[in-house]
Structure 1
């Protein structure tokens, strides 16, 4: 087994979360925590924060600490920080920073959008690559934020431009039904949403009338992780 395969769950955590804003108004700052599970066993804790940064910009951050299994043994952690502005009710990307650290490996990514020239620049430590930006574009850290807002607005099918490593990729999602979900924060009658244009992706369960974040999220690749809401505190 390779180091990469051992660390795949932590590397994959960057695909997961987002937050929410009131329709066409400034969102309320918050802090939320999640348990991170793999195979039903505790693996880590995720802390997610949203706060205003001034000049119409917002910062959305996620910090994941390994607390069990190999993640704890290797001292693994993932830190992500997104800066964005609101375009309607879409968190339009300005910048995104990702850092995964462990005893045996480090991985980073810096993404910045030059909206004046409509260009995205991505650097993973080997030199920057650039490609054209798209209006209303999100990045992987704020993806679930945009999905949560769409569900709040009653949408059942969602297509989003997402800035990935080498291009802006249109990703498609669909509400597949309602399910009762039990997590540490309580029991919820939740809406389930799935990505429909990829064999491997994620499923998320939202209770948009209760919280702006998913109450549960299951990632189907990178280690089959499950994140469950523990607490949510508006600020």
Structure 2
């Protein structure tokens, strides 16, 4: 008796590659909310969203509003908006806008990438500066999304070109272990990621099989700030 394979070899291989491609596909739109804490105390609420902008571009935004303590008293808010295109599973930067507003202070930063000239222009209101762009470059707002997608693809060490004020800076991150993390969205066996090339106090915890964003993020550069996931909804 001859036993035939369930699928011809070429068909089986084709389905395998299709499954791998589906797993590695960039995420669709979503909306996530976070509690923002400073020094362990509630400070605000952040809304993070991704949506298609047309013509192969995407808009990724983070809107933080002060709801407690000094941030609420000052009416503080921060809006960060990134425009990018997918380069594989990397959100390659097209533009980035930052706006900080309080009762007594406003601050802005505008970053634009001209990929025809491979040039980045940054303007903070004191005169624009330019520098060379780098393929696969992200910026500070889209960085956590890029890290989450790298972890989803099984990477344990990640080097990302990041557009900062005066240059493209290669930033290195590494999975340092697994930890149980409890946040308002639930309890997760999360991968902890730390920045390894600078003492910036950046740590993030991801459940990459569930979300492309961190379930918790801690950053001590410029303040003892934490973000804890409250909800995530695919659009």
TM-score (structure 2 length as normaliser):
0.89
Distance 1:111 1:145 in 2: 18
Checking the alignment, whether the CA contact within 8 Å between 2:78 and 2:99 is kept in structure 1 is: yes
Distance 2:203 2:26 in 1: 27
Could you tell me which runs of 5 or more consecutive residues in structure 1 were left unpaired when the two chains were aligned: 1-21
**DSSP 3-state at the match of 1:214:** coil
* Structure ID, larger Rg: 2
Distance 2:26 2:133 in 1: 24
Could you tell me which runs of 5 or more consecutive residues in structure 2 were left unpaired when the two chains were aligned: 1-21
Checking the alignment, whether the CA contact within 8 Å between 2:195 and 2:203 is kept in structure 1 is: yes
Distance 1:50 1:89 in 2: 14
The CA RMSD over aligned residues, in Å, is 1.0
Checking the alignment, whether the CA contact within 8 Å between 2:26 and 2:89 is kept in structure 1 is: no
Higher-RCO chain (CA-CA 8 Å, sequence separation at least 6)? 1
**Hey, what does 1:10 align to over in structure 2?**
none
For 1:101-160, what per-residue CA distance to the aligned partner results, in whole angstroms no more than 9, with x for missing partners?
001111000000000000000000111100000000000000011100110011011100
**Hey, what does 1:189 align to over in structure 2?**
189
Distance 2:145 2:189 in 1: 19
Checking the alignment, whether the CA contact within 8 Å between 1:23 and 1:89 is kept in structure 2 is: no
Instruction: Give the 5 Å matches for 1:16-165.
Output: 23-165=23-165
Q: Which runs of 4+ in 1 moved over 4 A?
A: none
Aligned length: 214
Checking the alignment, whether the CA contact within 8 Å between 1:99 and 1:106 is kept in structure 2 is: yes
**Hey, what does 2:7 align to over in structure 1?**
none
Offset at residue 70 of structure 1 (A): 0.9
